[in-house]
Structure 1
Amino acid sequence: MVSGAVSSSAVAGAPAWDVIVGDRFIAALAAPAPEQVLHSLAEAASDDALELERLVGLVPSGRVDPVESFGLVWWAPGATSSVTAVVRGDVVVDLASPGGSRRFDARGIRPWHLADFDDVVALRITHAAAPLEHVRASGERVLHQRASLRTSVIEWTTAEGADAAPPAPWIDADTLLASRRLEPGPGDAVADTIITPRVAVAARHGDRVEDPAIAGAIAPAVAESSTETASGSPTAPTTDTAVRAPRFRIGHGDPVVIANPVLIGRKPMPPRIAGSGDQPELLTVESPEGVISGTHLELRLVGSRLVATDLHSTNGTVLRTASGTRRLRAGESIVVLPGALLDLGDDTIVEILSAQGAPGATRTDSRPHR
């Protein structure tokens, strides 16, 4: 069984999950899960050579008999506090670290949403409707190696964390918990909060997205705060962290530092359902021929990487890099590096620039955009 302590809890009226606990993974599928899928996962539970790609492939997520809701948590060989989470549908993974905790959900991403997390001391797999609470692993302890069970909640803590004090409270929109003395002295605050830019939260948690060739779809993993000018253009962040963030420009316009998710289109609109406090900035571009979609492209920081996502645009998005040109699939996400060009149509080119202060960041790029 995975290193640490695993426990399960049955909650009256809550959705049930069929769970397989392996040597290096925990898988939870919406019950009743297909018997053949559970059998395949059970067979893989003791496979020392099991790779993440194969594990994810055991759960159907295509057009033929897909499992609509599932969550996987994976530990690489020798890893204890670094995990990879894969979710689809209504499942969520709540992860606790020394600095606080966060909820990782699918956000409607297909075929699934994948991200890596470091410094994890406890986690929970449950339904998206479950309240955000501390991961206490207070349910019934799962003692058998390579277990198979049906439950409402499955939790894991490190061996050290199983008997330790509860983890820090949940991080809300713009708050980090300050370090707390075990024995507060006179006048010490019992618990302080520090207002901090969202980018700092990403760095603190070490979030990073798996290689898109493996993930198939990269999606938001970090919630950002938002500011917008009267004209709808994103405002440049002023924090030191934001200054080091990637930048972009449209055509020969001024560079814009990316600190918050940016939605670009002919008439961009925020998502109908906001996810985890996200407040994207809206950037309107001209499209005389009407080929650019209302909300065409998203640029978002995921950890230290910049991810571009085609938002199922009608005309599509063409990516041009030094290695070639290709059209993104509808809804496809990909990590983009400085020098990449994203062609939305109607002569609208989004150019990815180096972070301010990086080598070559002040260079004037005279390359044609067509």
Structure 2
Amino acid sequence: MVHGTVTSASRAGRAPWDVVVGDRFIAALAAPADDRALSALAEAACDPRVGIERLVQAVPAPPAEPDRGFAIVWWSDGDDATVTAVVRGAAIVDLESPGGSRRFDARGIRPWHLAEFRDVTGVRLAGADAPLERLSTAGERVRHARASLRASEVEWSPVATTNAASERSDAAEPGQADEDTVLRGPVPRAGQGAADVAPAEAARRPSPMVRIGRGDPRAVGAPILIGRRPHAPRTPFAPAGIPELVAVRSPTGVISGTHLELRVEGSKLVATDLRSTNGTVLRTPGGERRLRSGESVVVAEGSLLDLGDDTIVEVLPAREDDTSPSRDDRPSP
């Protein structure tokens, strides 16, 4: 169970969100949310083994509203200071850490945007109409045991907050903060938590490993684009984020030109079907399913991604390396 204090507030003029608080996650869906999605999240609220992939699958976008917003914050088992955040549409997650406060939003990325953050001391789930500001004591305390409610924002802190604690003198100077500004401390790259900019820790992070087809095992650093004739988006990347293009044979043409993307988000490997013509099949110890067009999933060691024509991407055990995989947010369209 995630230890801490959860509070909610309804602010006049701000968008409402249907919120589910679970043992290991907080989810906020644009209100009114689909009853089936809320029921699925409520069912997962008491599951101590629930993973981020299951939570994301619980809130599919309606066909008529592909950008309908949601935000999920999920805590890994036994680590209250490391969270995985997923956002779509107008939903945002504000995070506090010793390095400062910053906003994580979708930036137009589809089907959703995912990143991992460490050294987290507080989070806020809200809409893009909420200002970036420090966590406050204003709001009604939520009983953390599997609550469901409607509010314009919900906050979590690891311990009960007090008015004295919120009256800190290190707030940003007027005009300093914008939608992706650190209020104090160094400015991390978009999508990074405070620990992501620590070289010593980054060097110890194991590199996700894959085998593409019959090729040799390879570490995933920059994004990898796989297909018959893969090509990078025209949008510029940061130098460390220039994608690697891997061409594979497809005698029958079932593999698309640019079929699949592999990228690192925090310590996780994320695979995205790039709206391929014939789709991608994910095989795990728990079963098999076909990814939706454009869908992103977190893939764990032992997973297989079948692109067709005997081209299978195998996710191998991570490898300790002298260098860490670089990560950059995918640029907005």
> Aligned ranges for residues 232-251 of structure 1 at < 5 Å?
241=203, 245-247=207-209
- Residue from 250, 259, 276 that aligns with 1:313: 276
Q: State the 1:155 CA deviation.
A: 2.7
The alpha carbon displacement at 1:125 in A equals: 1.0
SS of equivalent residue, structure 1 residue 109: coil
Which residue is equivalent to 2:90?
Answer: 90
Give 1:137's aligned residue: 136
- Using structure 2 for the length normalisation, give the TM-score: 0.57
CA distance in 2, matches of 1:73, 1:57: 10
2:225 to 263, 283, 301: 263
**Per-residue displacement from partner, 1:166-194 (whole Å, max 9, x unpaired)?**
68999x99x999xx9xxxxxxxxxx667x
- Find out whether 1:333 has 2:333 as its counterpart: no
User: Deviation at 1:123?
Assistant: 1.0
Per mean C-alpha deviation after superposition, the further-off stretch among 281-290 and 259-268 is 281-290
- Report how far residue 95 of structure 1 moved: 2.0
1:26-61 deviations in Å (ceiling 9; x for gaps)? 5433233468987x699x69x995657599599764
Given that 1:291 and 1:315 are in contact with CA atoms closer than 8 Å, whether structure 2 keeps it comes out as yes
Say if 1:262 and 1:143 are closer, same or farther in 2 by CA, change over 3 A: same
User: After alignment, is 342-351 or 298-307 more displaced?
Assistant: 342-351
Contact 1:60–1:66 under 8 Å retained in 2: no
Q: How does 1:290-369 map to 2 (within 5 A)?
A: 290-317=253-280, 328-330=290-292, 331=295, 333-335=297-299, 337=301, 344-345=307-308
> In the TM superposition, what whole-angstrom CA distance separates every residue of 1:120-177 from its partner, at most 9, and x where no partner exists?
211111124656x243326x3214657876543333333365515468999x99x999
Deviation at 1:78, TM superposition (A): 8.5
Count how many residue pairs are aligned between Structure 1 and Structure 2: 298
Superposed, 1:170-181 pairs within 5 Å as none
Any idea what the Cα deviations from partners look like across 1:6-37, whole Å, max 9, x if unmatched? 2525263x423244667876543323346898
Equivalent residues of 2:205, 2:267 under 8 A apart? no
1:81/1:351 CA distance change after superposition, 3 Å: closer
The residue type equivalent to 2:291 in the other structure is R
Pick which of 296-305 and 72-81 moved more: 72-81
Q: Distance in 2 between matches of 1:22 and 1:342?
A: 30
Aligned to 1:126: 126
Q: Report the CA distance shift for 1:335/1:7 in structure 2 as closer, same or farther (over 3 A).
A: closer
Secondary structure of the residue aligned to 2:93 is strand
Structure 2 vs 1, CA of residues 349 and 29 (structure 1 numbering), >3 Å: closer, same or farther? closer
Query: Could you say if the C-alpha distance between residues 345 and 90 of structure 1 is closer, same or farther in structure 2, counting changes exceeding 3 Å?
Result: same
Preserved CA contact (<8 Å) 1:247 1:353: yes
8 Å Cα contact 2:118/2:193 also seen in 1: no
Inter-partner Cα distance in structure 2 for 1:325 and 1:141: 43
State the secondary structure of the residue aligned to 2:207: coil
**Shift, 1:281, TM fit:** 0.8
AA matched with 2:156: W
The structure-2 alpha-carbon separation of the partners of 1:332 and 1:116, relative to structure 1 and needing over 3 Å to count, comes to: closer
- Read off the aligned partner of 2:297 and give its amino acid letter: S
- State the percentage of identical aligned residues: 42
CA contact (8 A) 2:23 2:47 kept: no
Q: What secondary structure is seen at the aligned counterpart in 2 of 1:204?
A: helix
Deviates more, 1:23-32 or 1:349-358: 349-358
C-alpha distance in structure 2 between counterparts of 1:114 and 1:136, whole Å: 22
**CA 242–352 in structure 1, closer or farther in 2 if over 3 Å, else same:** farther
Q: Which moved more, 1:263-272 or 1:92-101?
A: 263-272
Q: Which segments of 5 or more consecutive residues in structure 1 lack a partner in the other structure? A: 181-190, 206-222, 224-238, 359-370
Q: 1:244 to 1:167 in 2, by over 3 A?
A: farther
Structure-2 change in CA distance of 1:354 and 1:89 (3 Å): same
CA contact (8 A) 1:72 1:86 kept: yes
Task: Report the AA paired with residue 6 of structure 1.
Answer: T
RMSD: 5.9
State which drifts further: 148-157 or 48-57. 48-57
Match of 1:362 in 2: none
Matches within 5 A, 1:263-282: 263-265=225-227, 266-270=229-233, 279=241, 281-282=243-244
Aligned to 1:3: 4
CA contact (8 A) 1:121 1:161 kept: no
Where does 1:177-196 land on structure 2 (aligned, <5 Å)?
Answer: none
Give the whole-Å Cα distance in 2 for the aligned partners of 1:158 and 1:97: 11
